[in-house]
Amino acid sequence: MPLLTETTIAGALGLTYSTPKLTHAVTAIGPADLDLTLSSTAPETGIWAVISDVDENGTPHPLSVGRLSTAYPGIDPAKSRTDPQGDIVQPYGDYSNRDPATPGVARGYHVEFWPIGNRFRAGHRIRLDIVGQSLLSLPGVPALNTIDVGGPSGARLIFPQAPGSDLAAALGGSTAP
């Protein structure tokens, strides 16, 4: 089913971020978290994100999908997994209270990905696609979503690395995607 694996259609409907080609292999093992600040024109919309391994030919191979309704922004910090720096790497969502967003007002979200287990080869790229709704979602009210990028509230992907992997070095010393 191409709709489950083809992510190039996200380009016109969402945001796509790709790393430069990796200079050496990087192994990713564990959960990932997309930490972002988003505002929407609707009180409830979807956030869908896909992490892919893009081969030398530019073909994306989806590895993990994260999804969240903006009506459920809460997480339980006590049950969420954090890294040694205190950053949430696996959010534990709190779905006990529906809390629709106020249209036009930005708020934070943690989008959980199922754990990843992949070796990104040298010459490959890591790609993150973010869309508001998947073709597999229930139809919703059309909405325009705005995501903060850069600065203190900018979106970031907390990406799992196996011991001995160095994503920053594989990107030529730049920061992770």
What's the CATH number where 145 sits?
Answer: 2.60.120.260
Strand 14-18 relative to strand 88-90: parallel, antiparallel, unpaired?
unpaired
Q: Is residue 9 part of a domain?
A: yes
| 96, β-bridge pairs | none
Q: Is residue 89 part of a domain?
A: yes
How far is Cα 119 from Cα 37, in angstroms, rounded to an integer?
29
Whose CA is closest to 150, among 22, 33, 37?
37
CB 69 within 8 Å of CB 44:
yes
Q: Is residue 97 part of a domain?
A: yes
What tokens does 19 get?
């790393």
In which residue ranges of the chain is pLDDT below 70? Answer: 1-13, 133-141, 174-177
Q: Is residue 176 part of a domain?
A: no
pTM metric for this prediction? 0.85
Over the Cα atoms of the chain, what is R_g? 16
Number of domains within the chain:
1
Start-end of H helices in the chain? 2-5, 10-13, 167-170
- Which amino acid does the sequence have at 43? P
Can you give the pLDDT at residue 3?
38
Can you give the pLDDT at residue 14?
80
Q: Is residue 110 part of a domain?
A: yes
φ, ψ at 13 (rounded to 5°)? -110, -5
- Percent with pLDDT over 90 in the chain: 56
